[in-house]
Amino acid sequence: MRARTYLISLILLLLTLSLHAHKGGHGHRNTKEWSIEGNKIEASFLAFKDGLVFLETKTGELVIEELSAFTMHDRLLIEEKINRIKSINQVSGNSGIVVAKHERGPENNGFSMNYFLIALSAVSFFIFAYFFRRKRMLTASMGIASFLIIMVFACGNSDDNGDTDDSAEDDNPIVSSVPANDVDALQELFGLFSNVTTDFDDTYFYVSSAGLPDHDMMVGITNWQQQVPIPQDYTGGNSWAFPIQPVLAETPLSSSEHFLRGAIAIAVNGIPVFNPLNNRGEDALAIGELDQWGGHCGRADDYHYHVPPTHLEATVGADQPVAYALDGFPVYGETTEELDEYLGKFNEDGSYQYHTTDTAPYFIAGMRGQVTLDPNTTAPEDQILPQAMTREVRPALTPLAGAVITDFNATGTNAYSLEYQIGTDTYYTNYSWDENGLYTYEYVDADGTVTTATYQK
361-412 pLDDT, tens digit per residue, is 999 999 999 999 999 999 999 999 999 999 999 999 999 999 999 999 999 9
Are residues 282 and 428 part of one domain? no
**Same domain? 157 vs 142:** yes
Spatial distance between the Cα atoms of 200 and 206, rounded to a whole number of angstroms = 6
Residue 237 backbone dihedrals phi, psi, to 5 degrees: -70, -5
Mean pLDDT of 11-21: 45
Among 168, 200, 223, identify where a domain stops. 168
**Under 8 Å between Cβ of 269 and 214:** yes
Owning domain of residue 49: 32-99
In a domain? residue 417:
yes
* 245, part of any domain: yes
Same-domain pairing of 13 and 91: no
Residues 417 and 327 in one domain: no
CA 300 to each of CA 256, 291, 406, 434, 435: distance values in angstroms, whole numbers, following the listed order = 24, 17, 22, 18, 19
Residue 216 CA, distance from chain mean position: 33
- The top-scoring range by mean pLDDT among 39-48, 67-76, 174-183 is 39-48
Provide the sign of the torsion angle of the four alpha carbons 395, 399, 401, 404, taken in this order.
positive
Mapping DSSP to helix (H, G, I), strand (E, B) and coil, where does residue 43 land?
strand
SS (H, E, C) 212-263: CCCCCCCCCCCCCCCCCCCCCCECHHHCEEEECCCCEEEEEEECCCCCCCCE
Name the most confidently modeled range: 20-24, 93-97, 234-238.
234-238
- In 180-222, alpha helices (H): 183-190
Which of 78, 99, 120 represents a domain boundary (last residue)?
99
Considering the domain architecture, whether residues 125 and 155 belong to the same structural domain is answered as yes
User: Has residue 146 got a pLDDT over 60?
Assistant: no
Could you say which of 99, 118, 149 is where a domain stops?
Answer: 99
Whether 48 maps to a domain, the answer reads yes
The whole-number pLDDT of residue 57 equals 86
CA distance 183 to 324: 13
Q: Is residue 325 part of a domain?
A: yes
Mean of the per-residue pLDDT values of the chain: 83
* pLDDT band, very low/low/confident/very high, at 82 (cuts 50, 70, 90): confident
Do residues 419 and 317 share a domain? no
Q: Is residue 174 part of a domain?
A: no
Q: Are residues 187 and 321 in the same domain?
A: yes
Q: Is the pLDDT of residue 426 over 60?
A: yes
Both 333 and 366 in a single domain?
A: yes
* 129 neighbors 5 (Cβ within 8 angstroms): yes
Q: Is the peptide bond before 272 cis (omega within 30 degrees of 0)?
A: no
Measured at the CA of 195, the angle between CA 190 and CA 199, to 5 degrees, comes to 50
In sequence order, what are the residues at sequence separation of 6 or more whose Cβ sits closer than 8 angstroms to the Cβ of residue 110?
104, 157, 158, 161
Q: How far is CA 239 from its chain centroid?
A: 22
Would 442 be classed as within a structural domain?
yes
* Beta-carbon count within 10 A of 425 CB: 11
Domain identity same for 17 and 158? yes
Domain total in the chain: 4
pLDDT at residue 73 in the model: 75
* Rounded Cα–Cα distance for residues 297 and 105 (Å): 58
CATH code: domain of residue 81: 2.30.30.700
Is 173 inside any structural domain?
Answer: no
pLDDT digits (tens, 9 = 90+) for 245-269: 999 999 999 999 999 999 999 999 9
Cβ burial of 49 (10 Å; 0-12, 13-18, 19+) is middle
**How confident is the model at residue 378, as a pLDDT?**
97
Q: What is the mean pLDDT of residues 303-320?
A: 98
Whether 176 is in a domain gets the answer no
d(CA 331, CA 352): 10
Lowest mean pLDDT among 57-66, 99-108, 327-336: 99-108
* DSSP type of residue 7: H
Are residues 449 and 407 part of one domain?
yes
Distance, CA of 449 to CA of 451 (rounded, Å): 7
At 24, the pLDDT band (50, 70, 90 cuts) reads very low
Contact status, residue 77 vs residue 173, Cβ threshold 8 Å: yes
Same domain, 278 and 372: yes
16 plus 65 within the same structural domain = no
User: What pLDDT is attached to residue 222?
Assistant: 99
